[in-house]
Amino acid sequence: MGVGELAEATASAEATASRAARLGLYLAVKRLLDVALSLIALTCLAPLFLLIAIAIKLDSPGPVIYRQKRVRGEQDPEAPHPEALEFDFFKFRSMYANSDPHVHLSFVREYINGNASGTNNGSAHKPIYKMRNDPRITRVGRIIRRTSLDELPQLLNVLQGDMSLVGPRPSLPYEVEQYGPLERQRLIPKGGLTGLWQVSGRTTLTFQEMIRLDVEYARRRSPGLDLLILLKTLPAVLSRDGAW
């Protein structure tokens, strides 16, 4: 190896080490903020949690918290079976207990396969890629879904370290089974309570648009981008744009 090639290799190694150090610092700071902010939010929102729990119990029988298996982030996108790494994802129960999941599984398959006409439950002018008039959803469930209150228990997932405040939404195992190489890149960051997709249209976006935004986040993630997404989350929730 010549002097020029050696210098180039050394510079490349130093650049790689510098990027790794910056990423490590970013992830450490992000984890500290996740713990601190989720603890503050859980403490402040405790009365609201209690009210929602009472409403759910009065509306229909079953548990208050719904646990669902989701695929953990922070994975190598080339792992042979990324869907096997799961965690318990928490939500306030918005459906009747023991509802059949196959109706949603069929919808997700159509959505991932790009069947816009079969999965658009809005209009060509304002598409909504979400199941509407789902008979499995309770009366209280419709309210907490439209206001995104059903997502609040995921603060516990953030506190436990299974999720972050900001990142791609954790996928269902049967979704990941259908992912290709591009889609798997959304598994690189830790899954989040909110993310670039959520503040950019949510259910008004096609699957391909969602993937583009999540992969963009995976490549560009930084403290500044995380802060921008957090600042945009509250207006997005209050507007209820794309929430169903």
pLDDT tens for the chain, residues 1 to 244: 665 555 455 545 555 667 888 999 999 999 999 999 999 999 999 999 999 999 999 999 999 999 999 999 999 989 899 999 999 999 999 999 877 666 666 666 666 776 655 554 544 544 444 556 678 899 999 999 989 999 999 999 999 999 999 999 999 998 898 899 999 999 999 999 999 988 887 666 778 888 899 999 999 999 999 999 999 998 887 766 545 4
Task: Give the C-alpha separation, 88 to 101, whole Å.
Answer: 16
DSSP string for residues in 85-137: -EEEEEEE--B-TT--THHHHHHHHHHHTT-HHHH--S-SSS---S--S-TTB
CA distance to 22, 81, 85, 133, 228, per residue, from 146 (Å): 38, 34, 30, 13, 23
pLDDT at site 129: 47
pLDDT at site 236: 80
pLDDT at site 244: 45
| Contact (Cβ atoms closer than 8 angstroms) between residue 105 and residue 174 | yes
* Domain boundaries defined on the chain: 32-239
CA distance to 55, 146, 227, per residue, from 167 (Å): 30, 21, 12
DSSP string for residues in 131-191: --S-TTB-HHHHHHHHTTGGGTTHHHHHHHTS-EEESPPPPPHHHHTT--HHHHGGGSSPP
92: Cα separation from own chain's centroid: 16
pLDDT at site 136: 86
Task: Give the C-alpha separation, 107 to 73, whole Å.
Answer: 23
Helix, strand, coil in percent for the chain, rounding step 5: 55, 10, 35
Q: Furthest-apart CA pair in the chain: how many Å?
A: 77
DSSP code, position 45: T
Q: Model-level pTM?
A: 0.81
Nearest-CA neighbor of 223 among 73, 38, 25? 25
pLDDT at site 122: 46
Structure tokens at 166: 């900001």
